[in-house]
Amino acid sequence: MTDPLAGGRPLTSETVPQATVAPGAGASAPSAPAARPARQPSETVSRRREVIHFALRGRKILVGAGVLLVLLVIAVAGPFLRPGDPNAFVGPLGAPPSAEYWFGTTTFGQDVFAQFASGLTATFLVGLTGGGIAAFIGMTVGFVAGYRGGVVDDVLNMITNVILVIPTLALLLVVTAYLSARGLFVEAIFIGLTSWPWAARAIRAQTFSLKTREFVDLARISGASSWRVIFREIAPNMSSYLFLTFILLFGGSILIAASLDFIGLGPTEGTSLGLMMYNAVAWSALQLGMWWWFIPPGIGITAIVGALYVMNVGLDEIFNPRLRES
């Protein structure tokens, strides 16, 4: 797991980092979305068209999206290709990949491919849910703190900083350890509740810079309530930034979930990629050379997260031409 590293990149003049970025505990990404000056609303429409045009052509984006699509297909097709409980004991014990069992079987004769496909589904769901919740909280906190300023900002800032410093995994450890039954969504919710701080900081900084723009003043003068201003004026001008932040949160959630699962604090039922690795290590798959058991889950996670990062960079290049190789 890594955090967005361009943490120091100033978003505007502030450092979430700087451009910065706001890497935060739990979120992972090589670089948080780069800061960029907001545009006038009138430019936004043609920009959007330009953006879509390049988005569909950018190699990084296509490669990243392609990988995600392949894995998504596997996840969705899994239950049809290999119906039944992925954890059921169906085959020979510890068999290497064959025509019948594409990814071989575990020590107990479970179909590794079925587990893999099911694990992929779990991974996507956790990423979506956890990332979504974190994005929601991060946006709420970030917008309010950035827009309101003053005491509200100070309080939210303090809360954000406190949660930011606490290592996410450590926090999740104590929280989930006491639950005797854990579900996938509970795990995702907890992840979402703890990994939002860096996003809040980043969004707050960006909101700050947008707040001083004329069109926001106009909206305020015309009597729009704060929420209206945020939703109608500020957020749309940050839409690319918000999207990139979500992508990073998505990836981050997946990595955190994998770690939780690996320690044994994942969902008590079902299967996940992290859980597969946990089992593999626990049952000496390493020493027994059962590489088909522990290699695929890791590749799955690396592929998804890597694809997300690459897409993030590709999209960032479009939105922020500076990083583009000319």
Partner 1 sequence: MRRYFGRKLTIYLLTFFVAATIDWLIPRFMPGNPVQTLLSRSQVPPEAVPSMIAYYNNLFGLDQPFVMQYLHFWGALLHGDLGRSVYLSGAPVSGVIMDAVPYTLALLVPAILLSWWAGNKFGALAARRAVLDNAVLPIGYILTATPYMWLAIVVAWVFGIVFGIFPISGGYSYALEPSLSWTFVSSLLSHWIMPFASLFLVMFGGWAIGMRNMIIYELDADYSRYLKALGAPSGLIRRYAFRNAMLPQITGLALQLGVIVAGALVTEIVFSYPGLGKLLLAAVQNEDYFLLQGIFLFVIVGVLVANFLVDIAYVVVDPRTRVGMRGETA
Please say whether the beta carbons of 16 and 201 come within 8 A.
Answer: yes
Please say whether the beta carbons of 88 and 115 come within 8 A.
Answer: no
- Minimum CB–partner distance for residue 300 and partner 1 (Å): 9
Cα three-residue angle 259-288-280, rounded to 5 degrees: 20
3-state DSSP call for residue 10?
strand
Q: Which stretch binds partner 1 (CB under 8 A): 27-35, 38-46, 98-106, 181-189?
A: 27-35
Q: Does 173 bind partner 1 (CB under 8 A)?
A: yes
By the 10 Å C-beta count (0-12 exposed, 13-18 middle, 19+ buried), 306 is classed as middle
- The footprint of partner 1 on residues 227-256 (CB under 8 A) is 251, 255
- The footprint of partner 1 on residues 32-51 (CB under 8 A) is 34
Q: Which stretch binds partner 1 (CB under 8 A): 13-21, 73-81, 215-223, 227-235?
A: 13-21
Q: Does 215 bind partner 1 (CB under 8 A)?
A: no
Q: Does 120 bind partner 1 (CB under 8 A)?
A: no
Q: How far is CA 279 from CA 119, 225, 285, in A?
A: 13, 53, 8
Which residue of 199, 301, 315, 318 would you call a contact of partner 1, by CB under 8 A? Answer: 301
User: Residue 205's closest CA among 23, 30, 4, 21?
Assistant: 21
Nearer to partner 1, 229 or 275 (CB): 275
Q: Does 91 bind partner 1 (CB under 8 A)?
A: no
Q: Does 155 bind partner 1 (CB under 8 A)?
A: no
Q: Does 169 bind partner 1 (CB under 8 A)?
A: yes
Q: How far is CA 145 from CA 15, 60, 149, in A?
A: 15, 34, 6
**Whose structure tokens read 């059962």?**
290
Please say whether the beta carbons of 247 and 311 come within 8 A.
Answer: yes
- Minimum CB–partner distance for residue 314 and partner 1 (Å): 11
Q: Does 287 bind partner 1 (CB under 8 A)?
A: yes
Q: Does 3 bind partner 1 (CB under 8 A)?
A: yes
Q: Where are the alpha helices (DSSP H) in 56-183?
A: 59-81, 112-148, 150-165, 168-177
Q: Does 149 bind partner 1 (CB under 8 A)?
A: no
Q: Does 1 bind partner 1 (CB under 8 A)?
A: yes
Binding track over 184-203 against partner 1, x by CB under 8 A: --------------x-----
Nearer to partner 1, 171 or 235 (CB): 171
Q: Does 306 bind partner 1 (CB under 8 A)?
A: yes
